[in-house]
Structure 1
Amino acid sequence: MNRFGLLLISFSVLLGANAFADSTMDEPQNCFRGPFESYEKWETVMNKKKPGFDIEAFHRAFPAEKFNQRKAELDCTDFTYQSDQFNVEGFYLAPKSPEKQLPVVIFNRGGNAGFGYIVFGTKMDLPAELASEGDIVLGSQYRGASRHLSNNGNDEFGGADVNDVLALIDIAKTLPQADTSRIALVGWSRGVMQSYLSAKQLPKLKAIVSIAGNADLTQAVVWRPAMEKVYAARIPDYATQKHQRLAERSVINWLDKLPPAPILMLHGTADERVSAEQSVLLAKALNGAGHKNKLILYDGDNHSLSNNRIQAFTEIKTWLNQYL
């Protein structure tokens, strides 16, 4: 068991046997384990298992110095937890041995079911950037995404799986180093929807960051008809209640339900998965409602903001530092 797991056990003993009921980080494991124990092992595994692996691009995007710095400065933990009656996977990143309480950022991933599962390299990307800024970062893989857990449930694409996000806040409240009066939500793609749906239940939320997300799923499926298959496969009662189910998941329909947390929206104008017009539409609606927001469009960039990641991450960190 790693040092973070021992911290959780010690803290639970201090609070009593029932302190972690239904909101525990179970089976904690250090992210820097096995093939990710060293930079050399990570590189070797990628080279063997990823077809067409570009080792030079890998070195440019994630040099050894960055890996070693992350490992030296950050705690990174994979864990399981209970959400409703299901077993769900989550992850945690934070500075090692903080001298004061830190704000909490809930990172909401994109994709659906196993597609978009947060792998080690993704943890070392934006989540690690935020942890390096002095934030505690918690994220969920969502129910229905696990490759090994039993009783993992089904992804409902913005249905009951929103509870998987909210349960992370209950977990944060058990961490002595977490200041849960300062919480922000950061979502990418489908994770933007998860953030807005969760925000409805978080009146004291401090900030929201939306990266390449939809605001109106009804319009989104017209623009990208291929998503109809995802919606039909994941959303309960979609065949008979399509309009209602999409409306329930579209923040544009219930802006008045959001807390007053300032919203930063980032979007590439050449996004092939989510139209940038979704963020434009939401920004106009937020302006009309008097809700503080900022929209940044990256001309010609894609869903991953591949051409502007440094600028985008700087904008995100600045936003969170300002409001957390």
Structure 2
Amino acid sequence: MAKQEVIRYKTRDGLDIEGLLVHPLDRKGNERVPLVTIVHGGPEAHFSNGWINGYSQPVHVLAAQGFASFLPNYRSSTGRGVAFSKLGFGKPGMGEFDDIVDGVDHLIATGLVDKVKVGITGGSYGGYASAWGATYYSERFAAAVTFVGISDQASLVTTGDIPWEQYLVHMGKWPWEDPEMFRQQSPITHAQKSRTPTLILHGEADPRVPPMQSYMLYRYLKLAGKAPVRLVLYPGEGHGNQRAASRYDYSLRLMQWMKHYLTGPGGEPPAYQVDYALPKK
């Protein structure tokens, strides 16, 4: 297994943040390595320093292929008390996603990470962060894979299945009370900035973040026309893939996209069809 450790850093506004770093399995001397930033959902969740490999966060598969993985517990994460979990209330994204970029900068400053080979991925709120990375922070990320992610905050309130949680836990306002805040905190608002190749994945039966969120992001990025974008839907899947086949396809597409744009030829997207055959020994 690759080396895994807790890292700590200060954000631009002085907050102390923790995250996990999984090193590449093999690193040649002091060479800088590509990084995949993996963002948890919620944001009321966190990464613990234990076994964290999974279909949507294949950190040891990434490590074996020369990548480092960074899993930040940005502000609003759980595990550090109620006050910390409320730091993003009424201002989603913003400081939360700044924390993620500040963590990437910390790893670049240590000499580990190649700043032009940084990707971002995550599901749900992590998908929101990934869409934010592909738009608002596009200059910082060379590849993005967003899964069941938020792209338009206002329409999410009226189409998802947790409008009261959105109001009471996350936003503190309804869209008609502060439309500008909802607009500014939506990745589609910043789609014209995007130069990041973006793979969008979504379950067709998702009630929490309806697939229209991914349709919207796809169309905005497609119309902006500045970077490759692909949309893949999973029939019958909800807010996270449950079937083994869907999970396997997801993992392969995630790895394919990151390798193609962080260490591969880049340019036009890789083939839509993926090879499901196991590698020969």
- Cα distance 1:151–1:288, how it changes in 2: closer, same or farther (>3 A)? closer
Report the CA distance between 1:226 and its aligned residue. Answer: 1.9
Corresponding position of 2:43: 112
Q: Which has the higher helix share?
A: 1
Equivalent of 1:322 in 253, 260, 280: 260
Report the CA distance between 1:234 and its aligned residue. Answer: 3.2
Alpha-carbon RMSD? 2.5
Contact 1:212 1:274 (C-alpha < 8 Å) held by counterparts:
yes
Contact 1:143 1:161 (C-alpha < 8 Å) held by counterparts:
yes
Corresponding position of 1:124: 53
**TM-score when normalising by structure 2:** 0.79
Q: Which amino acid aligns with 2:35?
A: V
Deviation readout 1:9-65 (Å, 9 max, x if unpaired) = xxxxxxxxxxxxxxxxxxxxxxxxxxxxxxxxxxxxxxxxxxxxxxxxxxxxxxxxx
Equivalent of 1:296 in 222, 227, 232: 232
Q: SS state of the match for residue 139, structure 2? A: coil
**TM-score when normalising by structure 1:** 0.69
Matches within 5 A, 1:104-253: 104-113=35-44, 116-119=45-48, 123-125=52-54, 126-128=57-59, 129-148=61-80, 152=84, 154-156=87-89, 157-199=92-134, 200-203=136-139, 205-235=141-171, 241-253=177-189
Deviation readout 1:57-115 (Å, 9 max, x if unpaired) = xxxxxxxxxxxxxx3xx1111233222222222111122341243211111111023xx
Unaligned runs of 5+ residues in structure 1 are: 1-70
Deviation readout 1:135-194 (Å, 9 max, x if unpaired) = 111121111324247984713431322221111121121233321221111121112222
Mapped to 2, the partners of 1:226 and 1:150 lie a distance apart of 21
Equivalent of 1:94 in 15, 19, 23: 23
Larger RCO (CA within 8 A; separation ≥ 6): 2
Report the CA distance between 1:231 and its aligned residue. Answer: 4.0
Matches within 5 A, 1:49-64: none
Matches within 5 A, 1:237-276: 241-258=177-194, 260-276=195-211
Aligned length: 249
Larger radius of gyration: 1
Mapped to 2, the partners of 1:269 and 1:92 lie a distance apart of 32
- Percent identity (aligned): 23
